[in-house]
Structure 1
């Protein structure tokens, strides 16, 4: 039995608030959370220690971007313990997720999650983002707390297919980062996100190649 079953009502309520069907998604997410909690005690995969806090700060925060994620191939750069990639892989039908992480204890955990949860739409790459030799292979890349917009594009922009999008999760609206975007890129949208159980600003910045620059 999952030791975190007591969190199920809170998780289901959060999923409903985000417009996601709670079942069977909540059970799958709770299985992931239980694995993360257990491994975290030994391997220190995340600074968030309490499962209830992980529920809001990790699971629901990651899933707040789901309406803006399209089916197809997504690379989650610097995914850490699988955030937001694993929650999105569970929640978005037709999404193929590649988890890119260079810290070996985290990739070991990610492979165990893929094995135990039977995630046939998730693969794990033990690599730095800039070393992934798959140019143009992805419809979307994402990074939750990795770098500035320009920094993410510097290490991962090569992975995007023509017309592909960077989906960058940020706290406050990052106007300075937007102004510092490198030539050839433009902001498609900036969406304010609401995360059940969390206060403070959250934004999703979508960046694409600039057609004028490409021409």
Structure 2
């Protein structure tokens, strides 16, 4: 019996359409294959706190796809910090095969899972790194750095400031609007824009904050 049902496929298609994200047949197939691997591995590896497969389409796939418009208008080299089960980095790598994505996590089980996804789906534009963020030393700054409920905003930008430059955009995916976290931002980081996200099937608030570092 397949771990991914027709209901999951229909929910993904309808949710993506509601977000204004166009999926071709190959991208839809890859996202569902990723979902199947996530369901399978989550039973043994505890990749995500979401245990019910019926909640994973909205809370993982569609939540990741909700930032597609903001990724599309920016640069081509991206880092997903504290990627966990690979979100949003793996769905974004599927959506943007012409761009380069690096997913980073300090948990070896989670990066092993991500590596398996990379191999099975043939994601040549994805690099999986098992490391602490402070130890990562890329050859050049990333053009975009994204995190999904990784840490407080202050920690997010302080831990990753060496990975970007004034041309980099930092995308922080949050639940409730992080008013207190914004007040603690370092002085050399500014909020470029902020967006309330409507994720089909997700209860509660979702926000995206786009930050930049002053020169």
TM-score using structure 2 length: 0.93
For 1:93 and 1:107, how far apart are their aligned partners in 2?
A: 20
Q: Would you say the 8 A contact 1:66–1:92 is kept in 2? A: no
Is 1:113 aligned to 2:114, yes or no? no
After TM superposition, list the pairs within 5 Å mapping 1:174-213 onto structure 2: 174-210=178-214
Is 1:13 aligned to 2:17, yes or no? no
For 1:155 and 1:27, how far apart are their aligned partners in 2?
A: 35
For 1:20 and 1:102, how far apart are their aligned partners in 2?
A: 31
Q: CA deviation at 1:71?
A: 4.2
User: Which residue is equivalent to 1:159?
Assistant: 163
Please tell me the root mean square deviation across aligned C-alpha atoms, in Å.
1.4
Q: Would you say the 8 A contact 1:75–1:138 is kept in 2? A: yes
Q: CA deviation at 1:5?
A: 3.3
**1:142 alignment partner, SS class:** strand
Q: CA deviation at 1:113?
A: 0.2
Is 1:83 aligned to 2:87, yes or no? yes
User: Which residue is equivalent to 2:3?
Assistant: 3
For 2:96 and 2:104, how far apart are their aligned partners in 1?
A: 19
For 1:196 and 1:71, how far apart are their aligned partners in 2?
A: 27
For 1:5 and 1:143, how far apart are their aligned partners in 2?
A: 29
User: Which residue is equivalent to 2:68?
Assistant: 66
Q: Which runs of 4+ in 1 moved over 3 A?
A: none
TM-score using structure 1 length: 0.93
For 1:53 and 1:84, how far apart are their aligned partners in 2?
A: 16
For 1:135 and 1:159, how far apart are their aligned partners in 2?
A: 9
Q: Would you say the 8 A contact 2:3–2:40 is kept in 1? A: no
Q: Would you say the 8 A contact 1:163–1:208 is kept in 2? A: yes
Aligned residues: 211
Query: Which string of whole-angstrom CA distances, capped at 9 and with x for unpartnered residues, describes residues 113-155 of structure 1?
Result: 0000000110011101111012752001011011111100111
